[in-house]
Amino acid sequence: MQHQKILVLDFGGQYNQLIARRVRDLGVFCELKPSDMTAAEVRAYAPVGIIFTGGPNSVYEAGAPHIDEEILALGIPVLGICYGAQLIAHLMGGEVARADMGEYGKCTLLIEKEAPMSEGVPYESVCWMSHTDRITALPAGFEVLAKTAACPIAMYGDAARNIYGIQFHPEVVHTRYGTAFLKNFLYNICNAAGDWTMAGFVQEQVEKIRSAVGEGRVLCAMSGGVDSAVAATLVYRAIGKNLTCVFVDNGLHRKGEPEEIMRIFKDGLGMDLIKADAQDLFLDALAGVTDPEQKRKIIGELFIRVFEKEAAKLGKIDYLVQGTIYPDVIESGKGKSATIKSHHNVGGLPADIGFRGIVEPLRDLFKDEVRKVGTELGLPDGVVWRQPCPGPALAIRIMGDVTREKLATVREADAIFREEIERAGLSRDIWQYFAVLTDSKTVGVQGDSRTYENVIALRAITSVDGMTADWARIPFEVLERVSTRITGEVKHANRVVYDITSKPPATIEWE
Ligand code: XMP
């Protein structure tokens, strides 16, 4: 099935992918493409509407990105946002100039003229601005639709040509009616049908993967995390048995995780999933190592070695699947989006397996969209809502050296903490929650005897992106149950403490 499409031309602004995401949320398929697309390419793409994004340049500067001007004459509705709005005004005969004073942050938007673009938006509302240039004169045929105190042309349009410009950012949450403006553009101006859903996304990706990969053999490192699980399931849906997944069991996973992964993906979905049993290899290599960075390095390198060995057993592999999601793309500065890219080495995976390319079906999605895709693919909530877990897993939640006995202690304590948080219905409000085995021992009394055992620390944080975090205000009753159970049920633990440090100054993990 062909979906209607909105084309977002990228002028380099920081919220560009967010625009695409809002459009998708509003039920219209949308992709971000480079701004140097020609009018012929745009016509061939056949979008029902085009959005020009914001960007860091000034339209009148030499070298500022422009467009093939014929795009404005194709008869396809256009919405320019920020730089995009200025570019339209500039190219069509209006004027853009540097303002005496920039306008940043929250501003009061006043509707000048009721129009299909402002349906459902009150006369006065809050919008979010970020600009130094502003439009000082509109091209012929355009009228002002909204203003702010510092920006007399905050929104403009020409209903005859269906071309509109918005100086503020409708895509950010601080613009109170931002979604309404975007919705109005899609449904009142572009007459979109709203035919895009997660089911549509899955179908589209399945087709793309099939045509890109053909009969090629594909390999995926499955970590059990939501991103790699969803990516693998999507690729599996597209090419079935031509996908092989490898799960490296390093002995450092949380309780029940390796079994769960095998049960869901191999037994349940029928994937060709290989478990590489490498527990001894990892634990032997970690013996006596206490430095956190050293632990990480050993685990990272061994992972690659084990993965390479498994890949070599499979013979020729053409593609590697990666669960890269959009925030990873921004973080690693990898830039423009594409589902299938030529060979590069991301995330420390081996560059010399000899594959032809990387399949990254989630590159354009945000975490919550990935979860929706997972649900659409029928993955259970336990996978779709799994909290993030670092690659080195329990090894960096044991202070000091890692032994089998310490792993058993922290694994059991962690399982109890997770169980109680889930039972209390708090799991979706808390970003991460886990137990740490400290390297302190304290005196206790259990039964009638004195004990000298380990202190377990509980860490639970709220966060949006893991960059900053606050400690979660877990009800005392829940903490009490966890403490009672850990000291009662877990061997070698006689004391439980709760970590009440935010990030910064602490990090989320203890090592
Ligand atoms: P920190 O401890 O730096 O953690 O505040 C921020 C987020 O990153 C996760 N984390 C890791 N993830 N490999 C990973 O894949 C690692 O070595 C690693 N260290 C920390 C951590 O769990 C938190 O979500």
Question: How many CB atoms are closer than 10 A to CB 160?
Answer: 8
In this structure, are 206 and 283 located in the same domain?
yes
Q: Residue 297 gets which letter from DSSP?
A: H
Residue 257 falls in the annotated catalytic set = no
Q: Is 278 helix (H, G, I), strand (E, B) or coil?
A: coil
As a whole number, mean pLDDT of residues 481-506 equals 96
* Euclidean distance between CA atoms 156 and 113, whole angstroms: 10
We report the CATH number of the domain holding residue 486 as 3.30.300.10
For residue range 355-380, what is the model confidence (pLDDT) as tens digits? 788 899 998 888 888 999 999 999 99
Ligand 1: nearest atom to the Cα of 300? 17
| Predicted local distance difference test score (pLDDT) of residue 336 | 40
**Cβ of 508 below 6 Å from ligand 1:** yes
- Using alpha carbons, select from 231, 196, 221 the residue that is nearest to residue 373: 231
Count of domains in the chain?
Answer: 3
Rounded alpha-carbon distances, angstroms, from residue 34 to 15, 41, 59, 69, 162: 15, 11, 17, 15, 22
Residue 171 falls in the annotated catalytic set = yes
What does the mean pLDDT of the chain come to? 92
Q: Is residue 508 part of a domain?
A: no
- Segments of 336-389 assigned E as strands: 340-342, 357-359
Residue whose CA lies nearest to ligand 1 atom number 14: 390
* Euclidean distance between CA atoms 370 and 362, whole angstroms: 7
Identify which of 291, 298, 508, 511 to mutate to test ligand 1's pocket (most ligand atoms within 8 A of the CB): 508
In this structure, are 175 and 155 located in the same domain?
yes
| Predicted local distance difference test score (pLDDT) of residue 72 | 97
In this structure, are 184 and 222 located in the same domain?
no
Residue found by looking up tokens 């259970």 in the block: 380
Instruction: Tell me the one-letter amino acid at 463.
Output: S
**Cβ of 327 below 6 Å from ligand 1:** no
**Cβ of 466 below 6 Å from ligand 1:** yes
Torsion (CA) 422, 424, 430, 435 in degrees, nearest 10: -60
Tell me how far the alpha carbon of residue 5 lies from the centroid of ligand 1, in angstroms.
37
Residue whose CA lies nearest to ligand 1 atom number 12: 390
Residue 330 has pLDDT above 70, yes or no: no
As a whole number, mean pLDDT of residues 308-329 equals 88
We report the CATH number of the domain holding residue 126 as 3.40.50.880
**Cβ of 332 below 6 Å from ligand 1:** no
211 class by beta-carbon count within 10 Å (0-12 exposed, 13-18 middle, 19+ buried): exposed
Q: From the centroid of its chain, how far is CA 366?
A: 3
The percent of residues in the chain predicted with pLDDT above 70, rounded, is 95
Catalytic residue among 171, 369, 376, 412: 171
- Using alpha carbons, select from 453, 439, 398 the residue that is nearest to residue 283: 398
Residue found by looking up tokens 């599996």 in the block: 236
Q: Is residue 389 part of a domain?
A: no
Q: Is residue 378 part of a domain?
A: yes
Q: Residue 434 gets which letter from DSSP?
A: E
Domain that holds residue 418: 397-498
**Cβ of 503 below 6 Å from ligand 1:** yes
Q: Is residue 25 part of a domain?
A: yes
Residue 350 pLDDT grade (very low, low, confident, very high; cuts 50, 70, 90): low
Tell me how far the alpha carbon of residue 498 lies from the centroid of ligand 1, in angstroms.
19
The 10 Å CB-count burial string (b at 16+, else e) for 288-323 is ebeebeebbebbeebbeebbeebbeeeeebbbbbbb
In this structure, are 167 and 203 located in the same domain?
no
Catalytic residue among 90, 131, 169, 253: 169
Q: Which residues neighbour 155 within 8 Å (Cβ) at sequence distance 6 or greater? A: 109, 112, 117, 118, 144, 145, 146, 147, 164, 165, 166, 167, 168, 181
In this structure, are 50 and 142 located in the same domain?
yes
**Cβ of 390 below 6 Å from ligand 1:** yes
Residue 509 falls in the annotated catalytic set = no
In this structure, are 221 and 330 located in the same domain?
yes
Residue 119 pLDDT grade (very low, low, confident, very high; cuts 50, 70, 90): very high
Q: Is residue 390 part of a domain?
A: no
In this structure, are 360 and 420 located in the same domain?
no
Q: Which residues pair with 107 in a beta bridge?
A: 127
**Cβ of 392 below 6 Å from ligand 1:** yes
For residue range 46-97, what is the model confidence (pLDDT) as tens digits? 999 999 999 999 999 999 999 999 999 999 999 999 999 999 999 999 999 9
Q: And the tokens for 358? A: 């990387």
Tell me how far the alpha carbon of residue 390 lies from the centroid of ligand 1, in angstroms.
5
| Predicted local distance difference test score (pLDDT) of residue 335 | 44
pTM: 0.77
For residue range 409-446, what is the model confidence (pLDDT) as tens digits? 999 999 999 999 999 999 999 999 999 999 999 999 98
* Euclidean distance between CA atoms 26 and 451, whole angstroms: 60
Q: Which residues neighbour 152 within 8 Å (Cβ) at sequence distance 6 or greater? A: 144
- Last residue of some domain: 163, 189, 215? 189
Tell me how far the alpha carbon of residue 218 lies from the centroid of ligand 1, in angstroms.
28
